[in-house]
C-alpha cells in the first residue's frame, strides 16, 4: 500500500522540524551557574530551627490574615503545655508558613501526632496570645 504524497510530505515536515529543534537547542549557549542562581526566588523559605519539642494531637488547622501579618495555626485536642492548645507561625514569611501548613495538614490527614518545636515568647501582636498559644519554630509529622 502506497502512502499518498500529502501524508509523506507531512511526515517529512514533522521530521525536519524535530531535527531543527534539536539542532537549535544544542547550538544555543547554555546558561552559566551564575545565571541559573539568579533565577531562584528572592524570598526562599527559611530553614526551620529546633527548640522545645512537644507532641500535639491535631484538632484543626487554620490560616488567618488578620491582624497583619496574619498567621497559620494548629489547635491541639490535648494540651501539650498546661492551658496551651494552639501553636502558630507568623504570616510574614509565606514560604516557611506554607511548608509548616503542609506539615500540619499531612499529620491531620494521616491521623498522626504533630511534633512541634516552640518558643516561649508572646506572639499577641500577630494573634498568638500567650494565655493559650505559643509561636512555632518547627514542626514534623510524628511516628
Mean pLDDT of 56-61: 92
CATH topology of domain 52-141: OB fold (Dihydrolipoamide Acetyltransferase, E2P) (2.40.50)
Q: Residue 56: what pLDDT? A: 92
Per domain, the residue ranges of the chain are: 5-38, 52-141
Cell numbers standing for residue 138: 518547627
73 burial via Cβ count (<10 Å: 0-12, 13-18, 19+): buried
**Do residues 137 and 48 make contact, with C-beta atoms less than 8 angstroms apart?**
yes
**Do residues 112 and 143 make contact, with C-beta atoms less than 8 angstroms apart?**
yes
User: What pLDDT, in 10s, does the model give residues 67-107?
Assistant: 778 889 999 999 888 899 999 998 888 888 889 999 999 99
Q: Residue 21: what pLDDT? A: 66
**Which is higher by pLDDT, 119 or 22?**
119
Cell numbers standing for residue 59: 484538632
User: What pLDDT, in 10s, does the model give residues 130-143?
Assistant: 889 999 888 999 88
What mean pLDDT is reported for the chain?
A: 79
Is residue 122 over pLDDT 70?
yes
Q: Residue 74: what pLDDT? A: 93
Q: Report whether the peptide linkage leading into residue 69 is cis, meaning its omega lies within 30 degrees of zero.
A: yes
**Do residues 97 and 88 make contact, with C-beta atoms less than 8 angstroms apart?**
no
Amino acid at each position: 500500500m502506497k502512502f499518498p504524497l500529502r501524508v509523506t510530505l507531512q511526515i517529512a515536515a514533522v521530521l525536519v522540524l524535530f531535527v531543527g529543534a534539536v539542532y537549535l537547542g544544542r547550538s544555543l549557549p547554555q546558561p552559566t551557574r551564575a545565571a541559573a542562581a539568579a533565577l531562584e526566588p528572592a524570598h526562599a523559605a527559611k530553614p526551620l530551627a529546633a527548640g522545645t519539642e512537644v507532641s500535639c494531637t491535631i484538632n484543626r488547622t487554620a490560616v488567618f490574615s488578620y491582624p497583619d501579618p496574619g498567621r497559620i495555626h494548629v489547635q491541639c485536642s490535648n494540651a501539650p503545655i498546661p492551658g496551651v492548645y494552639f501553636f502558630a507561625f507568623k504570616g510574614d514569611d509565606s514560604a516557611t508558613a506554607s511548608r509548616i501548613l503542609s506539615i500540619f495538614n499531612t499529620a491531620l490527614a494521616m491521623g498522626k501526632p504533630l511534633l512541634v518545636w516552640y518558643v516561649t515568647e508572646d506572639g499577641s501582636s500577630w494573634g498568638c496570645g500567650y494565655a493559650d498559644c505559643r509561636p512555632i519554630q518547627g514542626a514534623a509529622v510524628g511516628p
